[in-house]
Chains A and B, each alone.
Chain A
Amino acid sequence: FYLTPPQVNSILKANEYSFKVPEFDGKNVSSVLGFDSNQLPANAPIEDRRSAATCLQTRGMLLGVFDGHAGCACAQAVSERLFYYIAVSLLPHETLLEIENAVESGRALLPILQWHKHPNDYFSKEASKLYFNSLRTYWQELIDLNSGETTDVKEALINAFKRLDNDISLEAQVGDPNSFLNYLVLRVAFSGATACVAHVDGVDLHIANTGDSRAMLGVQEEDGSWSAVNLSYDHNAQNEHEVERVKMEHPKSEEKSLVKQDRLLGLLMPFRAFGDVKFKWSIELQKRVVESGPDQLNDNEYTKFIPPNYHTPPYLTAEPEVIHHRLRPQDKFLVLATDGLWETMHRQDVARIVGEYLTGVHHQQPIAVGGYKVTLGQMHGLLTERRARISSVFEDQNAATHLIRHAVGNNEFGTVDHERLSKMLSLPEELARMYRDDITIIVVQFNSHVIGACQNEK
């Protein structure tokens, strides 16, 4: 059984999406040129999600990857809702008032986000009303709280993450008279998701990360080579600070049981996440909700199961770590990806592969004949060879697809091996998860001209 190259391509390209920031008057004035994104499922259905949107009432663009576990419900909800919470947190008081007044009087709402979605990135219609009401409560509170200060992006990101997680938790506790919705909010709360979100506004780049997805900056050095700069820290057992933090938050008596086999309470890989109320609620609350919940929930062993050594909840938080970076002209791109990518590739390779892909032919030194003696035949041979090299890069129209091709198909020499690629992609569903994880990638390309100009201004 063997997949042909076109079959491989159609699998790799099924979820690819590209967005170019529209040019105005022939010029792009944004610091973002555009982005490419793609996902390759290993789970069926895939548990990763991705989102991208432009803020319409404030400046800036939001991009995020979300890695779900114990189902995709939480990742789905976060991918739909988080950017609204962030956008609202960033809005000035007057705009919040305007929006609230519009809702109050039944007028059309100012659009807050412009989404850039692949057709497969769906929004759940059924829950939209519920989600909206929670969001509205949030902005009403923001209005009441009016601090009069300008919104700090870092603070806004932290608030939004925490608030959304809180709402997910509350909605599950309160329940919903509609049985479908009731089941949905419970599934959202009992499953979990990590989130890695970028907010780009001019030269200001903020990364808010919760969990073990990762943000990486691709930097082009003066000699043209590529290097990687991490813009997030993984929240897992490999991160000493994170282990330290968890231990600090719980009594010394629990120290040994907190992290076992590199997992939180011996169960959970990420140390921070949305949802996962099994690691957040008290045992009483968990029991009450499960018992009063629908049968499907009650019959589910996983939800009924209480983690061992569960003494002082919460053990888990959705609070993100936020890193601010001022973009420089040498910062060419940003890669946001779930751990499925980082497990298989080193960040240095990621930087090189994306960097060479994005610069493509331009990276190759142009040929100049100058004073050398070159024949037409020699030149022709040289050019054909250069073209062959380039065409392997240009097989993909999407940087994220290109990266996935390498992540899945790379052999020991770091080049794509079609046979390996074909094997990895034709694994039966139940086996796929053993060889690879869901992979979700967003590659954001920056506009060095604009960034350079901004820098000079300041």
Chain B
Amino acid sequence: SAGMFLRLLSDVRWRAANPKWRRTTCCRRSTSSTAEPQPVSLPAQAQVVICGGGIMGTSVAYHLSKMGWKDIVLLEQGRLAAGTTRFCAGIVSTARHVSIELKMANYSNKLYQQLEQETGVNTGYTKTGSISLAQTQDRLISLKRIASSLNVMGIPCEIITPKQVAQLHPLINIHDLVGAMYVPEDALVSSANVSLALATAASRNGVQIHERTSVSHVSVQKGRVAGVETDRGPIRCQYFVNCAGQWAYELGHSGEEPVNIPLHACEHFYLLTHPLKEPLASNLPTVVDPDGRIYIRNWQGGILSGGFEKNPKPLFTEGRNQLEIQNLQEDWDHFEPLLSALLRRMPDLEALQIMQLVNCPESFTPDMRCIMGESPTVRGYFVLAGMNSAGISYGGGAGKYLAEWMVNGYPSENVWPLDLKRFGTLQSSRTFLRHRVMEVMPLMCDLKVPRWDFQTGRQLRTSPLYDRLDAQGARWMEKHGFERVKYFVPPGKDLLDLDQSKTFYKPDWFDIVGSEVKCCKEAVCVIDMSSFTKFEISSTGDQALETLQYLFSNDLDVPVGHVVHTGMLNEKGGYENDCSIARLSKRSFFMISPTDQQVHCWAWLKNRLPDDSNLTMEDVTWKYTALNLIGPRAVDVLSELSYAPMTPEHFPSLFCKEMSVGYANGIRVMSITHTGEPGFVLYIPIEYALHVYNEVMNMGQKYGIRNAGYYALRSLRIEKFFAFWGQDLDAFTTPMECGREFQVKLDKGMQFVGQEALLEQKQNGVYKRFTMFILEDHDTDTDLWPWWGEPIFRNGRYVGKTTSSAYSYSLERHVCLGFVHHFDEKTGEELVVTTDFINQGEYEIDIAGQRFQAKAKLYPFSSLFAHRRRKDEVELSGYQRE
């Protein structure tokens, strides 16, 4: 396989120097049908056209054909596995932070292991294991967190001492190490050959593969893929899959209906050497030294070593083929810091002879997670790209999930963190992408601490109050491009520098948020929540009500002025969205959803609303500023400002009314707060935002009003056990599983999406339960803080993972939320989870390998907040979004 690798490299040069090259070198492979002399004419029609013959395209083709779809054409502009895939370092590593990525990598590893047997193509698969080194205690914590995740998934993994490192690898200098993580089943492959093997299997299953065929654009009819135009003629098709790697962005923008695929290429360098005097064994573990920003694997008796430098070089910002990939230059000066790190880690390599410095561009995405799924604007247009230099690790799993998505309508796992629809057009600016990927690439090696905020590409969407809040000490985070306040730093108080504030322990804002929470509970706070997605749906007749009744699980046929919390469920009863809907009039509804639902929810509804010109849906997110008044004195502030009684008798909970506040008229006031505290949300037409804010702050002064941010909100909602979509809730979670049956009207007199699945669950019980855990023996000052993704143990056995956590200032304890499963002790089969099962367990939460006792609570938990007024019970039955 290594020979193959080298030959491919030399081919490139040869080809570049010899433009007349056509078919004289076609003796390349005998195992692959794709090496047949071209051109075979293209079919006029196919069910699926895949663009891109790298690891992603071939993996999708392989899995689709395995699942029974045969009418597939795969097009590659050059030769198979000739782009980034060819240059890829070939490391299959399961040490991943995000659980879905970990699953993909684990599947890939298993797939590649048997691929040679299945296809007869030599994939070069060697199980070497990998060692991730820690030079600092913080890095070791980070590795321990990953180790916890790997262990509960059944992937062997160990935290080892520097001494053990030296035993595993003879060349490593261990003097500056504090520990390491060893994953014995990680592997090396020849990525080009893996890709060719997948292509071979796919082609045996009937997939047609055409090399040297470029897709110029995708044609769209009535919002659906109709076909592709290529330089060798058109192909009609129902599905198109964009696996064009770093060209995916451009390909997405080439059609009349643009598809935004936010990714950007950066140069990536690695070094190849001649063999050592005593050639390295081919099963020597791969070494990852994140603090040195490098990876080192054995290669042909020598080494292959690359890394992720602090000052990346983005390229192709202005479009494709400015320079051919093949002509990219080696840049030794740029590589110098990585070479220094390499020689520090393995000083004995000094005398080793250099073979080559390879420059291989990789594509990166705005949030360091890959991009998959269906376009929100063009049905049948699927994407799989933006691998952030982990393409070979993800290739198998990502291809499988995308194939499932196309065949079954949704993958077998929750892939929302990777869904194309988490992005909108706002992330498609080239300037934004260029700046952001320069931050993302170094992040590959940076410490992943909780509550990380990107620094680039900021201040894109802001509330009209931005400057006001900023001047009052606001510290900002970003969600879907929108700036939101985390907390307010009081005047005269300074927080740590950005770098110093990175911690796995108690953060420096602890007391600041504590006082904001206290104010929410005792007086009144204002939180700007303008980022939430807001739609208006209205019709001339009853169409709006009828459609919404079908698409949402709760009963929306409520009197005008009422607000309903409801899920937007899929066929399986899982949450596609979690929202509140206010009935503004008989025929119009105002819908509020989480910020990052803007694209997903719009596409979901658009695809399901009847094609009726009398029924309209409008995205009014930008039209309103939302101010949340939280706290017992919110009533007083608002009634003084509006000269209207706001007490529960006059303005009951879950109620919505247009009224005047200060001089401004037409403010939509809703008695909901998202936190369980009493209060209101004011939806203010943006031109009134500053006025209303000033009025509220002036009037509120005597009631002790202050600004608060999302961290306070988060603490409040988690201690009240409110789930939030995207964090706790996803497309695989039903209302029954999180104690929200009361938000479902199974008997509302008409069918709705997900009803059957919920009825079945109601009858047969649920297989996981949303549970609240209160940490018992956890010291907030000295112990590691929980984050999310921590394994939950019941009576010493793994039962699930946490989904969110926060410090509860009123309980003075940490609270984690998460799902408890019931795995059969012998077979591992999932069993029904009953209330007794939850209540009768002894629980522990694993934070980076250390277990803390926890008390489990199910909803309702009146004993906890017994002193709360009755009114809150209604509010509690609400839900939470962030």
Contacts and interface: CB of A to CB of B under 8 A. Distances in A.
B171 interface: no
Contact of A375 (B329, B335, B342, B354): B354
B272 to A, nearest CB: 10
Given A366-B331, A368-B330, A369-B330, A380 B353 contact: no
B431 A26 contact: yes
A384 B356 contact: no
Interface string A364-382: 1011110001111101100
Interface core residue of B340, B343, B354 (most chain A CB under 10 Å)? B354
A23 to B, nearest CB: 9
A383 interface: yes
A346 interface: no
Given A26-B317, A364-B333, A366-B332, A375 B353 contact: yes
A325 interface: no
Interface in B559-597: none
Interface residues of A, number: 19
B205 to A, nearest CB: 43
B351 A377 contact: yes
Interface in A367-419: 367-369, 373-377, 379-380, 383-384, 386-387, 390
Nearest to A386: B333
Interface in A334-383: 361, 364, 366-369, 373-377, 379-380, 383
B336 A373 contact: no
B342 A376 contact: yes
A352 B61 CA distance: 59
A374 B351 CA distance: 9
Contacts of B329: 366
B466 to A, nearest CB: 23
A314 B271 CA distance: 74
B605 interface: no
A376 B273 contact: yes
A368 B354 CA distance: 11
B333 A373 contact: no
Contact of A26 (B353, B355, B430): B430
B612 interface: no
Given A366-B332, A367-B332, A387-B333, A376 B350 contact: yes
A377 B350 contact: yes
Interface in B294-333: 317-318, 329-333
Contacts of B330: 366-369
A375 B332 contact: no
Interface in B356-377: 356-357
Contacts of B273: 376
A331 B186 CA distance: 56
B354 A380 contact: no
A389 to B, nearest CB: 11
Contacts of A361: 333
B336 A369 contact: no
Contact of A380 (B318, B343, B355): B343
Nearest to A382: B332
B431 A379 contact: no
B333 A376 contact: no
Contacts of B357: 369
Contacts of A383: 332-333, 335-336, 339
Contacts of B317: 26
A384 to B, nearest CB: 7
A373 B353 contact: yes
B349 interface: yes
A108 to B, nearest CB: 24
Interface string B476-491: 0000000000000000
Interface in A3-30: 26
A395 B355 CA distance: 34
B271 to A, nearest CB: 8
A387 B352 contact: no
A361 B352 CA distance: 27
Contacts of B318: 26
Nearest to A390: B333
B331 A376 contact: no
Contacts of B271: 376
Contacts of A369: 330, 332, 354-357
A95 B333 CA distance: 53
Contacts of A377: 343, 349-351
B333 A366 contact: yes
B510 to A, nearest CB: 35
Contacts of B333: 361, 364, 366-367, 383, 386-387, 390
A376 B329 CA distance: 19
A26 B352 CA distance: 43
B353 to A, nearest CB: 5
A339 B333 CA distance: 38
Contacts of A366: 329-333
Contacts of A375: 350-354
A298 B236 CA distance: 96
A376 B354 contact: yes
A124 to B, nearest CB: 31
8 contacts: A364-B333, A369-B354, A374-B353, A376-B349, A376-B352, A383-B332, A383-B335, A384-B340
Interface of A: 26, 361, 364, 366-369, 373-377, 379-380, 383-384, 386-387, 390
* 10 shortest interchain CB distances as A-B pairs: A377-B350, A383-B336, A367-B332, A374-B354, A376-B352, A375-B351, A376-B349, A369-B354, A380-B339, A375-B353
